[in-house]
Amino acid sequence: MSEKPWISVCEIDDLFPDTGVCALVNNQQVAIFRSRRLDEVFAISNYDPIGEANVLSRGIIGSIGDEVVVASPLYKEHYNLRTGECLEKPEYTVAVYPVRVDDGLVQVQA
Amino acid sequence: MKKRIVVVGNGMVGHKFIDNLVNHADADQYQVITFSEEPRLAYDRVQLSKYFSGSTAEDLMLTSEDYYTEKSVEFILKDKVVDLDFENKEVITASGRREGYDKLVLATGSFPFVPPIPGNNGEHCLVYRTIEDLEAITRSAQQSKIGVVVGGGLLGLEAAAALKAAGLETHVVEFAPRLMAVQLDEGGGKLLRRKIEAIGVKVHTQKATNEIVAGTEARYRMNFADGSHLETDMILFSAGIRPQDELARKCGIQVGERGGIVVDNNCQTNLDDVYAIGECALWNNRIYGLVAPGYQMAKVALSHITGGSEQFMGADMSTKLKLLGVDVASIGDAHGATPGSLSYTYSNDVEEVYKRMIVSADNKKLLGAVLVGDVEAYGTLQQMCVNGMDLPEDPNCLILPSVDGAGMAIGVDALPETAMICSCFDVSKGAICCAVQDGARTMGDIKAVTKASTGCGGCSALTKQVMDAELVKLGVEVSNHICEHFPHSRQELADIVRIKQIKSFDDLLDQHGHGLGCEICKPAVASILAAFWNEFVLDKKHIGLQDTNDIFLGNMQKDGTYSIVPRVAGGEITPDKLIALGQVAKEYKLYTKITGGQRVDLFGAQLHQLPAIWKKLVDAGFETGHAYGKSLRTVKSCVGSTWCRYGVLDSVGMAITLENRYKGVRAPHKIKFGVSGCTRECAEAQSKDFGVIATETGWSLYVCGNGGMRPRHADLFATGLDDATLIKYIDRVMMFYIRTGDRLQRTSVWMENMEGGLDYLKQVVINDKLGLCAELEEQMAYNISQYQCEWKTTVESEELQKRFKHFINADVPDNNLAYVVEREQIRPATALERTNSSIQFVELVD
């Protein structure tokens, strides 16, 4: 499988700590989050499959037990930022994308 | 034929007897007739002092004429029974009326003892017992600057509180060397005195009044036996009660040497068909001047009349109450009068707490206790004493401050199921446990189901402990931790933030939590930080804490777009502003609807459109309406005295003042106000968190109402307020709510879960019981001074507007949005419509 290219979407400073943004990458809406405490960025699909709207980037991030999660701003289900799994309804999963910070740029493969 | 029962006296106990009888299984076999010399049926004499904090005579009523009529109880008011005709079994009243009886129940109560001091009959020498007395006190207080209460007992201190509340310089004159000599020991009395003096009531002990003469500075002068004197404008005698046994005495029914109608264990007098109950009855040479034993006697007398076998075997005289804002409790043998008894004492002058336990000579049983300043142990100690339970191995733990919260845990589990928790409503521990097993989860539930702690409220802490213990048994989590990241309640977090001056979530998490936080604790802490420091909510360091509604200053709708609600203070809007709103809505094709809070809601704004739309609104003179925030929403008003024929005060003007004052202040949950210009109440203020209603004498303030899912009528908090006092009280209540409310707890639930309820809130806000009022007002003033319209700030800052884009890397809208037209406006397309290719969707505004 050929590796997708890394696409730069914004500067790391555009991504306020502990918030998310949405980027358009190859026609897909990608929600990107930055955790200050973990000093780490995460990328999942922006589409909330339960609320059926493109809103996940606007959820609050945090932890449930050992999992790093985002809570959907619509009905507050939690999605695991590393696996995409919905904690409350495991039958729902959202896509997870590789993401990195390179030379101050946030880059995604999607 | 029905048996005729005549009840002489319609006080609390007389009424209780009647109420029990008409609800008895054999009620249809009896006809009840009751007489009262007072002009009204039974009212709550225990809560008499509430009359001075806003309650009306109506509020204090325990029953109504309608209820008696419905239950076929005959009642004769303002006619005193003055004689008995035993031969014909008839009572004879002052007006000459005669009524026959089969059974006669004397519930004549007591009267205040007025010491035989020359000059004690002046116009402004009063007593404190009936509503008429209170009316006289109110009248007199209006013409007085200084007031003296003669008697430093329980009732005397209540009377002093009334004078203090009326704004008088208040003195208490007591013959004994200490206050509440019956209930308290020397140490307790001393501390009580100190605390009462600290709030400005002057206490004079060991003073015998020789005479009352005309004063020079004030109306009267009291000359004391020790040569000193005191000038005052009014005098309240509260030097104890005497049983009202005049009728019995006159008719030859046996009375005690020092008064009181002698009764046996059936509450029967020496005449078979005559009973005596309540404060007029002398059982075992003892008068019971509390309501609970009176109720017990009412039960016993009814049981005997209806063929039951209940007996009166004495009653526990333990009491717990707040006097002038000071917590005081007395249990059992408070003075250590039992031969050989030992005592444990804990006294802390710094925190002003005094606790003393009297235990049996073998250190096995608790005999009595005195608590002043901290009465948390009352429930446990009283139960331990009444039920004769064994003391724990180390009895110290019962009164020592608990280091790790473990001290009190021995209490409720050890109680027998039959233990009486609420003596006002006869609720046992078992009944509370049953209620929990049937699904009760909060104090509000327990009160609704069992009535426990809805009387004097003295048992509320214990009731909660029983409830919590039962919840734990059922495996229900009773942790009050806000979430898994902080082992604290919202209130505790608020205290930590305030006391440690913490200014960011990260600092709080570092010092007091773990993990990364979540969507529960983050907004809660943001709200606490905003409430105390009221910094701009979108400051970088707070932004990740906020719910999307707070970040984007709008309410997210089901498709991810936002609604826009500008503030329309008091619902007053100029035609120009209305036009401006319409133009913006039209330009952006926003769905437009009038809200229940007298403003306009615009729906369907995309994230990137918000700053442009708000720029236009701000330019037209609008501010954010905070429809997205846990903060003041609207102050609904009727048109008031400026236009309405019936309006008494300017409700719109007050609504606008209040809305502008409190806009932007963050709270545990949203807050709504209503202001009505007269008692027709067109603004529905009583369904709001804060309701204000104009009356002829000023504003009435109602608090903690709610509409919505669980409607609750607001409680009347204070009446006859001028503008400044109204605002002062609202400042204090609101800030107290902000400080003590739980996350997402509306004021209605906050009130229902507040120990001590409305009364306690009044104590805190009106009487400054916690000494907090100045601080609350300061905090509110600071919050108000920090107000800014978040939308104005945002549209003026390019930096802040950057976030308002659906994509960080593309200037295109969310392609998932789809709208159709209905009733000439847009609405989101349904899932079915989206799959239907023949449907024409509305073109989005760029």
User: B129-171, pLDDT tens digit by residue?
Assistant: 999 999 999 999 999 999 999 999 988 998 998 898 888 999 9
C-beta of residue B341 within 8 angstroms of C-beta of residue B361: yes
CB of B547 within 8 Å of a chain A CB? The answer is yes
Dihedral sign from CA coordinates of B15, B17, B20, B25:
negative
Summarize pLDDT for B234-249 with one digit per residue, the tens: 999 998 899 999 999 9
Q: CB distance B547–A16 less than 8 Å?
A: no
Interface test with chain B among A24, A45, A46, by most B beta carbons within 10 Å: A24
- Taking the C-alpha atoms of residue B316 and residue B693, their distance in angstroms, rounded to an integer, is 44
Q: DSSP 3-state helix, strand, coil percentages of chain B (rounded to 5)?
A: 35, 20, 45
Q: What is the DSSP letter of B73?
A: -
Q: CB distance A38–B516 less than 8 Å?
A: yes
Q: Which residue has the higher pLDDT, A25 or B845?
A: A25
Q: Which residues of A touch B808 (CB under 8 A)?
A: 9-10, 14-15, 21-23, 32
Pick the residue from chain A with its C-alpha nearest to B811.
Answer: A24
Q: Which of A9, A53, A62 sits opposite B518 (nearest CB)?
A: A62
For residue A18, the distance in angstroms to the closest alpha carbon of chain B comes to: 5
Pick the residue from chain B with its C-alpha nearest to A19.
Answer: B544
For chains A and B, count residue pairs whose Cβ atoms are closer than 8 Å. Answer: 99
Residues near B95 by beta carbon (within 8 Å), at least 6 away in sequence: B79
Q: Could you give the strand order of the β-sheet that contains B632-637, starting from the edge strand earlier in sequence?
A: B632-637, B671-676, B690-695, B698-703, B715-721
Average pLDDT over residues B428-442: 88
Interface test with chain A among B510, B514, B807, by most A beta carbons within 10 Å: B807
Summarize pLDDT for B521-550 with one digit per residue, the tens: 998 898 888 777 766 656 777 888 988 888
Show the tokens assigned to B373. 């300043």
- Residue B261: pLDDT band (50, 70, 90) is very high
CB of B519 within 8 Å of a chain A CB? The answer is yes
Pick the residue from chain B with its C-alpha nearest to A50.
Answer: B558
Task: Return phi, psi of residue B556, to 5°.
Answer: -65, 135
Q: Which residues of B touch A68 (CB under 8 A)?
A: 516
CB of B556 within 8 Å of a chain A CB? The answer is yes
Q: CB distance B518–A36 less than 8 Å?
A: no
Q: CB distance B831–A52 less than 8 Å?
A: yes
Residue B477 has pLDDT above 80, yes or no: no
Alpha helices in B428-487 (DSSP H): 429-437, 443-450, 460-473
What does the longest C-alpha to C-alpha distance in chain B come to? 104
Summarize pLDDT for B355-401 with one digit per residue, the tens: 999 999 999 999 999 999 988 888 888 888 888 888 888 888 888 87
C-beta of residue B650 within 8 angstroms of C-beta of residue B663: no
Q: Which of A22, A60, A65 sits opposite B519 (nearest CB)?
A: A60
Residue B406 has pLDDT above 60, yes or no: no
CB of B743 within 8 Å of a chain A CB? The answer is no
Q: CB distance A53–B546 less than 8 Å?
A: no
Interface test with chain A among B486, B509, B548, by most A beta carbons within 10 Å: B548
C-beta of residue B260 within 8 angstroms of C-beta of residue B298: no
CB of B835 within 8 Å of a chain A CB? The answer is no
Q: CB distance A63–B552 less than 8 Å?
A: no
Q: Which of A10, A54, A76 sits opposite B808 (nearest CB)?
A: A10
Residues near B93 by beta carbon (within 8 Å), at least 6 away in sequence: B35, B76, B79, B80, B81, B82
Show the tokens assigned to A101. 């910070």
Segment (H or E) for B159: helix B154-165
Q: Which residue has the higher pLDDT, B318 or A108?
A: A108
Question: Which residue, B583, B752, B806, B492, is CA-closest to A54?
Answer: B806
C-beta of residue A102 within 8 angstroms of C-beta of residue A93: no
For residue A70, the distance in angstroms to the closest alpha carbon of chain B comes to: 8
Residue A8 has pLDDT above 70, yes or no: yes
Q: Which residue has the higher pLDDT, A88 or B91?
A: B91
Residue A62 has pLDDT above 50, yes or no: yes
CB of B596 within 8 Å of a chain A CB? The answer is no
- Residue B407: pLDDT band (50, 70, 90) is very low
Average pLDDT over residues A33-55: 94
Summarize pLDDT for B93-113 with one digit per residue, the tens: 999 999 999 999 999 999 999
Interface of A with B (CB under 8 A): 9-10, 14-19, 21-25, 29, 32, 35-38, 47, 51-55, 58-65, 68-69, 71, 73-74, 76
Share of chain B above pLDDT 70, in %: 97
User: Which of these ranges, A22-36, B287-301, B394-408, has the smallest mean pLDDT?
Assistant: B394-408
- Taking the C-alpha atoms of residue B130 and residue B11, their distance in angstroms, rounded to an integer, is 10
CB of B628 within 8 Å of a chain A CB? The answer is no
Amino acid at B190: K
C-beta of residue B369 within 8 angstroms of C-beta of residue B329: yes
- Strands (DSSP E) found in B333-458: 342-348, 353-359, 366-372, 420-422, 427-428
Q: CB distance B546–A63 less than 8 Å?
A: no
CB of B840 within 8 Å of a chain A CB? The answer is no
Summarize pLDDT for B53-69 with one digit per residue, the tens: 777 888 889 999 999 99
- Residue B491: pLDDT band (50, 70, 90) is confident
A69-73, B440-444, B665-669 — most confident range: A69-73
Q: CB distance B547–A60 less than 8 Å?
A: yes
Q: CB distance A59–B808 less than 8 Å?
A: no
CB of B543 within 8 Å of a chain A CB? The answer is yes
Q: CB distance A73–B548 less than 8 Å?
A: yes
* B294-B297-B298 Cα angle (round to 5): 90
Q: Which of B518, B556, B812 sits opposite A64 (nearest CB)?
A: B518
Q: Which residue has the higher pLDDT, A37 or B534?
A: A37
Q: Which residue has the higher pLDDT, B523 or B603?
A: B603
Q: Which of A53, A61, A64 sits opposite B558 (nearest CB)?
A: A53
The chain-wide mean pLDDT, for chain B, equals 90
Amino acid at A36: R
Q: CB distance A61–B558 less than 8 Å?
A: no
Q: CB distance B816–A53 less than 8 Å?
A: yes
Q: Which residue has the tokens 């606007």?
A: A58
Pick the residue from chain A with its C-alpha nearest to B522.
Answer: A60
Q: CB distance A71–B518 less than 8 Å?
A: yes
Q: Which of A54, A68, A73 sits opposite B547 (nearest CB)?
A: A73
CB atoms within 10 A of CB B421: 27
Q: CB distance B548–A9 less than 8 Å?
A: no
The whole model's pTM is what? Answer: 0.55
C-beta of residue B738 within 8 angstroms of C-beta of residue B666: yes
The predicted pLDDT at position B480 comes to 73
Residue B753 has pLDDT above 70, yes or no: yes
Segment (H or E) for B542: helix B540-543
